[in-house]
Amino acid sequence: MTPLMFLALMLCGGLGASLRWLADVLLSRVLPAGFPWAILIVNATGSLALGLLTGLSLPSPWLAVVGMGLLGGYTTFSTVAVDTQVLARSGRGEAAWGNALGTLVLCVALATAGLALGIGLTATA
């Protein structure tokens, strides 16, 4: 990896984390309280975008910068783990399971859909 590529990766990671924070703040204002809906949406959209980029067969350096950098900073599965523990410890076991399993199923499904879409777009180009 070149120094320029490393710098681009770091900058995109910071940008992705900033976008996650902004999305979390804005979505939390309009979504119902009591469940981490905003983080679920962030992780779902990030999974869809990564699947799409992978399906488009971008050159490896760009996939690394956008996929690992931007989308790696944007998504936050560690927050899912913390939110799940908070829900469980507050006696909301069903919500905790819903958060953990819902995130897993939704993100895998959307990543798969994004991959299929990206492959389909590449095949028609």
| Tens-digit pLDDT profile for residues 75-104 | 999 999 999 999 999 999 999 999 999 999
Residue 125, pLDDT > 90, answer no
Domain count across the chain: 1
**Residue 51: inside a domain:** yes
- Global pTM reads 0.92
Share of the chain above pLDDT 70, in %: 100
**Domain membership of residue 48 as a residue range:** 37-124
- Which token pair is 54? 């992978």
- The tens digit of pLDDT for each residue in 22-43 reads 999 999 999 999 999 999 999 9
Nearest to 114 by CA among 31, 60, 43: 43
Nearest to 19 by CA among 37, 41, 36: 41
**Residue 23: inside a domain:** no
Q: Are 108 and 47 in contact (CB under 8 A)?
A: yes
**Residue 81: inside a domain:** yes
The radius of gyration computed from the CA coordinates of the chain, to the nearest angstrom, equals 16
Residue 81's pLDDT is: 97
**Residue 21: inside a domain:** no
- The tens digit of pLDDT for each residue in 43-64 reads 999 999 999 999 998 888 989 9
